[in-house]
Structure 1
Amino acid sequence: MMSKLKTICWPQVILFGDSITQFSFQVNGWGADIASKLARKCDVVNRGLSGYNSRWAKIVLPRLISSQNSAADCRNIAAVTVFFGANDSSLEDKNPQQHVPLEEYSQNRKEITKLLASAGVSADRVIFITPPPLHEPAWEKECILKGSPLNRHNSVVGQYAQACVQAAGLCGADVLDLWTLMQKDGQDYSVYLSDGLHLSEKGNQFVAQHLWGLLESRVADLPFILPYWGDVDVKSPESSLLCDQ
């Protein structure tokens, strides 16, 4: 009688964030790029929640990554990206529903790290991502189309980006500071944005490239899952395909 086969547990990279994360699996998206690089090594899981801020993220995170899960539940998490701030940094008087005060935003970042740690994801596997810069002329057009005035300022987004960088340092997490990198040397950062806030194709490429630089070391040791087809024993494929990995 054949013994029960051991299920292969694929490691995971979890992308946790707002719409910029949710949209990252679209054609040429940064999440899709990362997933393609990691095919046959781990699952890249999109947990982007359009419109969410860090306050709501902190509340729902335990429903997404539970401390009750174990390695046996296939929850071998190689890395988690935490990408919030574009909504938190909304101006309170123009967009009170999504706005989160700067001090609370910083504290929420720290609490998210603690929640991840309680679920077995240590801080060295966490990558904070700051919001990208905001191109006000383009975003103002979007706001007007929706019948509202400009509800974000790039200078304010920069304060939240700085708070994100500081929180990462205090928590022992890595950080990708998009707000600073996309404006480095006075470059025209509007090319990285599709509507002044969300990423363009070039912006997605920018995020994928820089994020991979931080992710690569965390996934470098992950094995290729199941043998390369050319290595399968043709006469006895079971001996190749049913062996423990």
Structure 2
Amino acid sequence: MALPESGSRCRLLLWPRLVLFGDSITEYSFQENGWGTFLAERLLRRCDVLNRGFSGYNSRWAKLLLPRLIAAGAGAESTAAVTLFFGANDSALEELNPKQHVPLEEYAANLKSMVHYLSSVGITEDRVLLITPPPLGEAAWEKACLAKGERLNRRNATTGEYAQACVQVARACGTDVLDLWTLMQKEQDFSSYLSDGLHLSAEGSRFVAAQLWARLGEKLSALPSLVPYWRDVDHMDPEATLL
């Protein structure tokens, strides 16, 4: 059977996409048992899940990078939802980690700027979800810092201020928000959610995935499967079904 020629009745199939934009917590989400892999599995044949996580990045750098990842036109039109997951690096203590630190007011302004940019290219606020940084396990993260010859460069209380700012930006911009910093601390001991005090453990990833699915699942799982189930393909005339 010959392949259809260019310019025939074939039409390029473009799946809607969910863009996960964030720092290392997003980058690592495609590792085994990661929250990104959970979403990708749930959305198979309905929506492509794109990992756009960049380890070590803060909101200042993310704001500059976003227009290179999502632009007006087909990229924006096919985007079903975007998650913005920054703050774990922004909230680093300035005196100990000036490269990653971003002042609180600038962090909030950067989040607003990214939401407004997405709106300007056609991704409305109802398709954007902000995620606060998770709480910081200071004892475990201090151990990780000391192993690198550094002092503890983050504090949970400071991270909480950035989480609160993220929630306030979401309210002001009209987007949904997942407040991990608050939700994870409803348990007395949240250390099981973290692998090293900063990044998520397998249990933490399951928690994030469940919370995200509660907010995005109904909308995204309603997307149609673009290619017929194999039992629905006319094996006598597959072109009639697939083209």
Confirm or deny a common fold (TM above 0.5): yes
In structure 1, the partner of 2:220 is: 219
CA distance in 2: counterparts of 1:74 and 1:113, whole angstroms = 13
The residue identity in structure 1 corresponding to 2:113 is E
The residue identity in structure 1 corresponding to 2:219 is R
CA distance in 1: counterparts of 2:58 and 2:123, whole angstroms = 21
The residue identity in structure 2 corresponding to 1:35 is A
Q: What are the superposed Cα offsets for residues 170-205 of structure 1, whole Å, 9 maximum, x if unpaired?
A: 001100000000001x42100000000000000000
Q: 1:137 aligns with which of 136, 139, 157?
A: 139
TM-score (norm 2): 0.95
The Cα shift of 1:162 comes to 0.4
After alignment, is 221-230 or 173-182 more displaced? 221-230
Q: How does 1:51-90 map to 2 (within 5 A)?
A: 51-67=56-72, 69-70=73-74, 75-90=77-92
Unmatched 5+ stretches in structure 1: none
The residue identity in structure 2 corresponding to 1:24 is S
The residue identity in structure 2 corresponding to 1:26 is Q
Secondary structure at the counterpart of residue 80 of structure 1: strand
Runs (4 or more) in structure 1 with deviation over 2 Å come to 1-4
- Note if contact 2:184-2:190 (Cα within 8 Å) is conserved in structure 1: yes
| Structure 1 residues 117 and 74: alpha-carbon distance in aligned structure 2, compared to 1, 3 A threshold | closer
Secondary structure at the counterpart of residue 148 of structure 1: coil
Secondary structure at the counterpart of residue 5 of structure 1: coil
Q: 1:124 aligns with which of 123, 126, 131?
A: 126
- Note if contact 1:79-1:218 (Cα within 8 Å) is conserved in structure 2: no
TM-score (norm 1): 0.94
In structure 2, the partner of 1:50 is: 55
Q: What are the superposed Cα offsets for residues 87-139 of structure 1, whole Å, 9 maximum, x if unpaired?
A: 00000101000000001111111000011112211111000000000000000
The Cα shift of 1:4 comes to 3.9
In structure 1, the partner of 2:199 is: 198
When the two chains are superposed, the root-mean-square deviation of aligned CA atoms in Å is 1.3
Q: 1:5 aligns with which of 7, 10, 23?
A: 10
The residue identity in structure 1 corresponding to 2:47 is C
Identity of aligned residues (%): 60
The residue identity in structure 2 corresponding to 1:227 is P
Secondary structure at the counterpart of residue 24 of structure 1: helix
